[in-house]
Structures are given as structure tokens and as C-alpha cells.
Homo-oligomer: A and B are copies of this chain.
Amino acid sequence: MSVQRPVVLIVGAGFGGLSAARALAAADAEIIVIDQRNHHIFQPLLYQVATAGLSPADIAGPVRSILSEQRNATVVLGRVCGVDAAARSVEIELRHGGDGPTRRQLRYDYLILATGARHAYFGNDHWERYAPGLKTLEDATAIRRRLLLAFERAEMAVDPAERDANLTIVVVGGGPTGVELAGSIAELARAALAKDFRRIDPRKARVLLVEAGPRLLPAFTEGHSEAARVALEKLGVSVRVNARVMDCDAAGVVVGEERIPAATLLWAAGVQASPAAAWLGAAADRAGRVLVGPDFGVPGCEGVFAIGDTASLTDAAGKVVPGVAPAAKQAGYYVGDLIVRRLSGWGDLPPFRYRNYGNLATIGRHAAVADFGWVRLRGGLAWWLWGIAHIFFLIDFRNRIAVTLNWLWSFVTFGRGARLITGNLAAQPAATEPPPPPAS
């Protein structure tokens, strides 16, 4: 006769979900981690894959491998279709190829929804095919393919207008992702690609960074925003603030009243949470994030928590918990600990408080901005700090070595090692590329 252990279902193997699983390592419970992909990715470096500086495997590790030593944890490759909070069960679709999707029901005692977010187009979802966003490895390799193919088209262009449009890249959104993408693309064109073409000069590529608000990096101080703008312009990026995108199509973008012909548009302007709120019938904010209680509990759904980009919370100190990796990790550990305490009958934890250890953003090879509250840095020192912090937080030690070496190599040679165009070239012209699959 076996005693059924309580089941903790964790949906999503990002920073939040994995932290929760780790906090539950010693629990006498069955931990099931469900993700629709087999790998965890280190999202803060995804832009480096998109700009050919790193390989997908450098910033990703198999979820099974990350949890292989945690014997109470089971990993399921599947996609959640819905939650029955009354019956305490989740419906998942296995996505393993073979005879097509198969559905299963998984019951839970506790459910942690850490399903993340995707880019938002503010009601213009049809823009996605023209201006893709960056959330998954597939997004990153698709963007890499678009960027590199635009230079190929420019090299072969007969018409000067066609050549110029192919040498114009517009990044929409002046947050950290937009700033990092724009800086990295400018460097790709100016250094790594500089000698590779015969008819065009890749250094003449135009990189535009378009931000609807009054300044870049709104989460930082105004001094940092200004430093970021100066550093980007030194790299050759044209920065436009107070500039709103009115339309996108295969030929370019309309910013305010100006049409800019551009073959490559990239979207880093907003996020939309995964449909967790809809699964639960729970209240959500405008970005679709579940309005959770002070312990990330979903009101009205016993045993259900939402964390990370899936949740909207103002913490016990009155601070809005931001949608960044450290906040997701802290939330994961908090909820994991809370469930351990409840399972053990030790009572609850005090309400969650977010601890902000600082903000970091990088601009190309030598510049970065850092804000730790007590100290604010810009330039070279901030850049090195940024590099060390990112390598330190890469989950898998092997990846740390690979990333360090790739970076040192790029730093010394200005080269980019991962400049591969993969996927089916002929079947996926940029103008008609299908939108990426939705997140769950």
C-alpha cells in the first residue's frame, strides 16, 4: 500500500519555475515541472544569439539535465491547455511528434504558474510577421536569419533604393532588450561583417532605435538614459525618442508621419502575459498578468500561485515587482518555501518583499549602465560588471565556460562565431514568414 504524496505542479521552466522547483527539493512531495520546450533559456543573453555572438546551446540547458539530481522532480515536455481549479487538475497536450498531440490530465495539490510572457503589439498583432519579437531560441535564430539575409540581399541589389532598405534595421522599443539589440546589431555591421562583402559596405548600415516615450531605459535614472543614448550614437545607432510606430509592413515602418523603408524590423516594445488568467478565470491587469495576493496566491483558486511575468503584484513595501529575472527567481523561491512550510504544517511566510539588487544594461562592446541604488556606474567598469554578473548567473557551469570563451574571442577579434543562416531559406521569405507559435 503506497501513500500518495502531494503533487506540486509547476508550469514553466524559466527563472521562476526552476527556482520554485529547487526550493521544493527537500519536500516530501512529487514535483512535476511542465514546459513546452525541453530547455531553460537564459533570457538576458537571448539578444546575443539573435545577433550571432552566441550559439543557442551557450545560453540554454535541458530542463531534465538541470533537475536530474533532484529525485523528487519529474519533467514533462508538454503544453498546458487549461486549468480546472475546482477539480485541481491541469490539462496538457504532449508535443512529442509521432502521432500528433495527445492530451493528459494531471491533478495537483499545489499549482505554480510561471508561464512568462510574449511581446505585445497593442492591438496590432498582424505586425508580428513584419516585426518579430525575441522571447525564444527560435525567435533568436529567426532574427539572426533575417538580419544576415538582409545583408545578402543588399549585396545583390541592383536598385540603390532596394540596397538601402536592406541596409536599414529598425528596432522598436527603448528598454533594455531594444538597447542591447540595437547596440549589438550596430557592432555586427561595423566589425564582424565589415570585410565580408564586395559591393556594399556593411558599416554604412543604418540602425534606428525608436522609443515612444521621452527617454531610453525608463527603469534607470535620467543620467543613465542619456549615457545609453550617447553610447549608442557612438556605435552609429540613430536614437529617436517620443517616436511612435503607426504602421509596419514588409517594406518598412511608419514612425510618426515618416515612412522609413527598412527590410528588418525588430520588436522590443511591450509584453503580454501568457493566458494563465484566462485558464483560471482570474482578474488580470492590462498586460494580462494575474492580480495575485501578497503571497502570489490567486484569489479564489485554492493552492494556485502565479509568479514572474505571469503575475502582477505590489509587494508589502509598496514596490511594484518588476518583470525581470531576479524578481521571478525571488518569487519562485518564496512560493516554493511557502509550499514546503504548508506541507510541513509550519504555517505561512510573511508577505513577499522584492529585493532590488540593481539594474544592468549593456550597450555594445565596452559600455553599460548599472544602477544598484547605492552606486551608479556607466561605461567600461559597468560593462565588465555586466559580463561577470551574467556569466555568474548562467545556470549551467559548462555554459559559463562556453560564453566566457565566446566573449573573449569576440572581444579580441571583433568576430562573431555563430553567423549561421539556418532553416529553410526558400520557403520562408521575410515578408511572409509565419508568426512564431504562441507562448503557454
Residues of chain A having any CB pair with chain B under 8 Å: 36-39, 55-58, 60-62, 64-65, 68-69, 74-77, 79, 94-102, 104, 137-138, 141, 145-146, 148-149, 152-153, 156, 166, 192-193, 195-198, 263, 396, 398-399, 401-402, 405-406, 409, 413, 415, 417-426, 428-431, 433, 437
Across the interface, do A420 and B137 meet the contact criterion of CB distance under 8 Å? yes
Q: How far is the CB of A248 from chain B (nearest CB, A)?
A: 16
Across the interface, do A38 and B421 meet the contact criterion of CB distance under 8 Å? yes
A273 to B97, CA, bound (A): 31
Given A97-B149, A409-B401, A426-B101, the answer on whether A419 and B263 have CB atoms closer than 8 Å is: no
Across the interface, do A425 and B198 meet the contact criterion of CB distance under 8 Å? no
Across the interface, do A419 and B38 meet the contact criterion of CB distance under 8 Å? yes
Across the interface, do B401 and A424 meet the contact criterion of CB distance under 8 Å? no
Across the interface, do A422 and B141 meet the contact criterion of CB distance under 8 Å? yes
Across the interface, do B62 and A426 meet the contact criterion of CB distance under 8 Å? no
A148 to B96, CA, bound (A): 9
Across the interface, do B196 and A65 meet the contact criterion of CB distance under 8 Å? yes
Closest B residue to A427 using CB positions? B437
Across the interface, do B148 and A38 meet the contact criterion of CB distance under 8 Å? yes
Chain B residues within 8 Å of A152, by CB: 38, 77, 94, 96
What 17 additional pairs, Cβ within 8 angstroms, besides A56-B422, A62-B419, A104-B156? A36-B425, A37-B421, A38-B148, A38-B421, A62-B196, A68-B195, A75-B196, A95-B425, A95-B426, A97-B146, A97-B149, A97-B433, A398-B409, A399-B417, A402-B405, A405-B405, A426-B437
Q: How far is the CB of A316 from chain B (nearest CB, A)?
A: 38
A-B interface, 9 closest residue pairs, ranked by CB to CB distance from nearest? A64-B196, A57-B418, A55-B55, A68-B195, A97-B430, A97-B429, A95-B425, A55-B57, A38-B421
